[in-house]
Structure 1
Amino acid sequence: MAVVTAGKVTGAAFIGNTSFGMKLKKWMADGGQIGAVNSFEEIEAFVAGR
């Protein structure tokens, strides 16, 4: 597993999914944090569950 930074996650989220990218950018700007994840799908699930 790798620790994912906000910049990397937000950049990845905009590839083909601007709706999720905008939601993720706002969530991280509001103090949301992601620890260790294995895939972008895990990031989506993590943010959706918050």
Structure 2
Amino acid sequence: MLEIPTSYETGGTIARIIKPAITELEKRNWRIKYETEKTGRKISHITFTWRKP
């Protein structure tokens, strides 16, 4: 969905793409949280919850 290249590691994806996007949206009063879900030792899913007050 996010069209992130497969060469990106999950830690790099969270630090370089998701966290900056969340901080930018929080400046516009969005409340966003994310949770990582693991399958074995790898992160397989990232679940987002958001709300605009």
Alignment TM-score > 0.5, same fold = no
Greater strand proportion? 2
Greater relative contact order (CA < 8 Å, ≥ 6 in sequence):
1
Greater helix proportion? 1
Query: Which structure is larger by alpha-carbon Rg, 1 or 2?
Result: 2
Shorter chain as denominator, the TM-score bin is 0.3 to 0.5
The alignment's TM-score, normalised by the length of structure 2, stands at: 0.36
